[in-house]
Amino acid sequence: MRKYYLDNIRWITVLLVVLYHVFFMFNSITSEIVIGPFYEKQCWDAVMYILYPWFMILLFIVAGMSSRYYLEKHTVKEFVRSRSRKLLLPTTLGLLLTGWAQGYISMSITGAFNTMPDTIPAPILFLIMTLSGTGVLWFAQMLWLFSMILALVRKAEKGKLYAASGKANVLIIILMVIPVWLSGLILNTPVITVYRFGVYGFTFFLGYFLFAHDEVIERISRFRVPFIIGAIVLGVLYVYLHFGDNYADMPVVGSVPAVAFAWSAILAILGGMKAWGDKTWAFAGFMTKRSFGIYVFHYLTLSATAYALHKYTSLGALPTYLITGCVAFFGSLLLYEIVSRIPFIRWCILGIKKEKNNVQRQSDTASKA
């Protein structure tokens, strides 16, 4: 049976990623490739503190769980091929096709073109813009790497660790916050702080070995209300202690309050969605199919809109946020609908393979029979 609660967690979290980036573009905390704040101190910047500690960790956990379910019905070779098409292609060929556009906008926002000599050859400038346009594709890069490591682990691991993990009780699951915290202190790249190999890699494999067990999720679900209350209390405490600090970099992102809040929020979401969100409806199905496309395209439409509004208008905070958010969402949907219909281009950018026609399907069915 399809686990609809995971589909719903995925697309809802992607929407929260869009929301986060809207606030991030105009934040007063960090100056990394952003337009900048409307005021010196903005109380609504707290949205970033509430979302950042847990939402990408949750996506890696869900990806680990989904990898386990996929490998239960497919071979390792099929897994490697599928993940390479869906994750590696968008970060290589897809980046070459579209990365320059995101790079141009990002470099325009930071004023990088004003500090670059005019003698730079066009091919080198194109390469710089392309690499600068990696943007949100860092998630696909890391997920592909973890998936390839998983393929090796799958061949060596005989199922003993997976079986043992399924026996974990709620106390052990809660105490996993300790290795999660420790993993967040290692393998963090300097400057480009999103590449947190330690915590993202560890939680991806937690998703595969621990949370992929239905009985583990059921145990968490029984304690969903305490986890929700704990997440609210710890979230308020974390924001109170660190508001104004750079939440995306060490030491704040690896602090005990940040990790405790993140872990409680993740357990609350997994348990709550299992109990209340394990169903589908028309809009959920629509978003499930398009969530990756929204993730891939949203930052391009968002940053372009934010830059245009900043340069050519004098709108206040509220209309700027609303316009930027709406264009980011609907613009990414539009780009997905266009690109997903163009042969080869959709393969490069979204990893969408050519669909079989009816004759091919009938032939495949007959051969399998």
pLDDT-derived band at 364 (thresholds 50, 70, 90) equals very low
Give the mean model confidence (pLDDT) for residues 196-201: 97
Q: Round to whole Å and give the CA distance between 139 and 59.
A: 9
DSSP per-residue letters across 73-126: TS-HHHHHHHHIIIIIHHHTHHHHHHHHHHHHHHHHHHTGGGGS-TTS-HHHHH
DSSP per-residue letters across 167-204: T--HHHHHHTHHHHHHHTTSSBPSSSTT-BHHHHHHHH
User: For residue 90, how far is the Cα from the chain centroid?
Assistant: 14
In this predicted model, what pLDDT tens digit does every residue of 127-186 receive, in sequence order?
A: 999 999 999 999 999 999 999 999 999 888 888 899 999 999 999 999 999 999 999 999
In this predicted model, what pLDDT tens digit does every residue of 80-130 receive, in sequence order?
A: 999 999 999 999 999 999 999 999 999 999 999 888 888 899 999 999 999
Instruction: State percent of the chain over pLDDT 70.
Output: 96
In this predicted structure, the answer to whether residue 363 has a pLDDT above a threshold of 70 is no
Q: What is residue 59's predicted lDDT score, i.e. its pLDDT? A: 98
Per the prediction, the chain carries an average pLDDT of 93
Q: Round to whole Å and give the CA distance between 337 and 334.
A: 5
Q: Residue 142: which residues within 8 A CB-CB, separation 6 or more? A: 60, 195, 197, 200, 201
Residue (of 172, 178, 183) closest to 211 by Cα position: 172
Q: Round to whole Å and give the CA distance between 197 and 52.
A: 16
In this predicted model, what pLDDT tens digit does every residue of 263-308 receive, in sequence order?
A: 999 999 999 999 999 999 999 999 999 999 999 999 999 999 999 9
Q: What is residue 356's predicted lDDT score, i.e. its pLDDT? A: 52
Supply φ then ψ for residue 103, to 5 degrees: -65, -40
The per-residue b/e assignment along 120-154, b for 16 or more CB within 10 angstroms, e otherwise, is eeeeebbebbbebbbbbbbbbbbbbbbbbebbeeb
Residue type, 294: I
In this predicted model, what pLDDT tens digit does every residue of 321-349 receive, in sequence order?
A: 999 999 999 999 999 999 999 999 999 99
Residue (of 290, 294, 304, 291) closest to 102 by Cα position: 304
Domain boundaries, the chain: 4-361
Residue (of 297, 293, 239, 301) closest to 265 by Cα position: 239
